[in-house]
């Protein structure tokens, strides 16, 4: 179709009734220079390029791109954008898209209104974070509070009012860079993991069309920890806790981690109703177990003694939690880490985290001949072999035996006299090997 034929075919796009204002039709093709030089007048006026495409200039100098057309027998008008935010080239492109909609029987103005309404209704990151926590994290993750902490600490202060669908990969990278720049590269890794999960949730609910975390690599280098406390360090830890600047509950919880070899999250979230002091069992329900499986933990005399001390501090009449928070619920997932970090010099150890206690207990148990299968049952590790599906043996007697043997070994290690110095990391392996041989004899 020629330009002349096109003009004739679209001449019906102009309204039958023009607005009551000064209007000039059919000017030459708009250029940036011409639009820039348009001056405001006492009254609003419009200039038209053709095919219903024009620009409106108001007395205050605002210049808006407009499109007037007919649809369903009615004259309509829509604003495409304002100059210079929308350039001449962009305005021509928007006009072309509106013409294309019109030729397909679509009212371009109504489509814009619907899009504006959808944009206004689109969830912000604040909305998405709340929905993610309630509908995904809380029902599935025992550690959902850690996700909430990460979102509140680094994500929401920066993105709370941003539309979720507008977050880009560059935004994600910029967020991670901020965290790395303050010296927390591993924290950046954890933040990326939470944001990635949150956007996967949004994607599954059709709240966004893509995950901006795709192809974004964790910025921090993860180091696989293999920290196991030497016999000397075990004694320093156990005795140093009594004088460490931390709450009595934190001291008991840390010792309980070592004695039972259970996960930090499972220790801090234990309820009194889970404890059978008379029978000597601690039952971790599936909803509070990391692997989603119920778990029975045998309680040695050391463990029941520690729980008795915890009961004196609070008691089940005051709180259902063995280690209650001063605010609400049980102590937080980072409480023991912070307590140990603040008191590391008091305790007398270096390069040491609460999780190292579980690894230490497991290492000593294998050193005294406890089988890996029984240890896996005691640690509540998930077995991936097909035969595990058919193995319904409780292993309670085996776990009880392992717990008693570990208690005897730990008591023996704690009774021995400590060396006059704390073992340096580079000397640790050699010291541990020789001490294990002596301790197991």
Domain count, the chain: 3
ω into 84 cis (within 30 of 0):
yes
Rounded mean pLDDT of 202-226?
Answer: 88
CATH number for the domain harbouring residue 176: 1.10.150.130
Same domain for 133 and 112? no
- pLDDT tens by residue, 417-440: 655 444 433 444 444 443 343 333
Which neighbouring-strand residues pair with 53? 50, 67
CATH number for the domain harbouring residue 316: 1.10.443.10
Same domain for 131 and 108? no
- Domain that residue 195 falls in: 125-204
> Is the pTM here over 0.75, yes or no?
no
Same domain for 352 and 332? yes
Same domain for 100 and 57? yes
Same domain for 188 and 77? no
Same domain for 137 and 104? no
**According to the per-residue pLDDT averaged within each range, which of 97-111, 181-195, 279-293, 420-434 is highest?**
181-195
Same domain for 316 and 411? yes
Q: Report residue 53's pLDDT band, with 50, 70 and 90 as the boundaries.
A: very high
Residue 94 falls inside a structural domain: yes
User: What is the predicted pLDDT for the residue at 315?
Assistant: 66
Q: State what percent of residues in the chain have pLDDT above 70.
A: 82
Whole-angstrom Cα distance, residue 435 to residue 413? 9
Same domain for 114 and 84? yes
Tokens of 61: 């100098």
Residues 6+ apart with CB under 8 A from 363: 228
Rounded mean pLDDT of 205-214?
Answer: 92
User: What is the predicted pLDDT for the residue at 379?
Assistant: 93
Same domain for 139 and 69? no
Same domain for 382 and 264? yes
Same domain for 110 and 7? yes
Phi/psi for 390 (5° steps) reads -95, -10
């Amino acid at each position: 179709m020629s330009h002349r034929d096109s003009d004739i075919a679209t001449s019906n796009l102009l309204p039958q009734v023009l607005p009551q204002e000064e209007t000039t039709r059919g000017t030459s093709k708009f250029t940036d220079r011409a639009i820039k030089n348009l001056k405001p007048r006492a009254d609003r006026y419009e200039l038209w390029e053709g095919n219903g495409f024009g620009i409106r200039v108001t007395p205050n100098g605002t210049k808006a791109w407009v499109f007037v057309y007919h649809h369903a027998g009615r004259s309509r008008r829509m604003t495409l954008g304002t100059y210079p935010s929308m350039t001449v080239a962009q305005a021509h492109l928007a006009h072309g898209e509106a013409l294309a909609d019109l030729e397909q029987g679509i009212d371009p103005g109504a489509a814009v209104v619907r899009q504006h309404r959808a944009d206004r209704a689109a969830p912000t990151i604040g909305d998405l974070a709340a929905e993610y926590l309630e509908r995904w994290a809380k029902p599935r993750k025992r550690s959902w509070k850690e996700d909430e902490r990460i979102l509140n600490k680094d994500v929401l202060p920066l993105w709370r009012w941003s539309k979720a669908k507008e977050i880009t990969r560059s935004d994600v990278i910029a967020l991670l860079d901020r965290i790395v720049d303050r010296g927390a590269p591993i924290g950046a890794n954890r933040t990326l993991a939470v944001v990635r999960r949150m956007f996967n949730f949004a994607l599954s609910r059709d709240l966004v069309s893509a995950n901006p975390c795709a192809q974004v690599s964790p910025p921090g280098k993860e180091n696989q920890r293999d920290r196991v406390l030497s016999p000397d360090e075990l004694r320093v830890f156990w005795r140093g806790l009594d004088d460490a600047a931390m709450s009595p509950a934190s001291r008991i919880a840390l010792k309980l981690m070592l004695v039972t070899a259970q996960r930090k999250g499972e220790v801090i979230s234990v309820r009194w109703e889970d404890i059978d002091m008379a029978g000597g069992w601690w039952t971790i329900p599936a909803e509070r177990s990391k692997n989603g499986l119920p778990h029975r933990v045998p309680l040695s005399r050391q463990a029941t003694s520690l729980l008795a001390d915890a009961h004196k501090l609070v008691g089940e009449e005051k709180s259902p939690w063995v280690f209650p928070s001063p605010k609400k619920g049980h102590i937080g997932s980072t409480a023991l880490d912070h307590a140990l970090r603040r008191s590391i010099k008091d305790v007398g150890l270096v390069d040491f985290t609460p999780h190292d206690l579980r690894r230490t207990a497991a290492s000593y148990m294998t050193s005294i001949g406890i089988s890996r299968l029984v240890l896996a049952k005691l640690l509540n590790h998930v077995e991936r072999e097909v035969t595990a599906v058919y193995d319904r043996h409780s292993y309670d007697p085996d776990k009880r035996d392992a717990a008693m043997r570990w208690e005897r070994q730990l008591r023996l290690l704690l009774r021995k006299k400590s060396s006059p110095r704390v073992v340096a990391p580079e000397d640790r392996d050699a010291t541990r090997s020789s001490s294990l041989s002596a301790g197991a004899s």
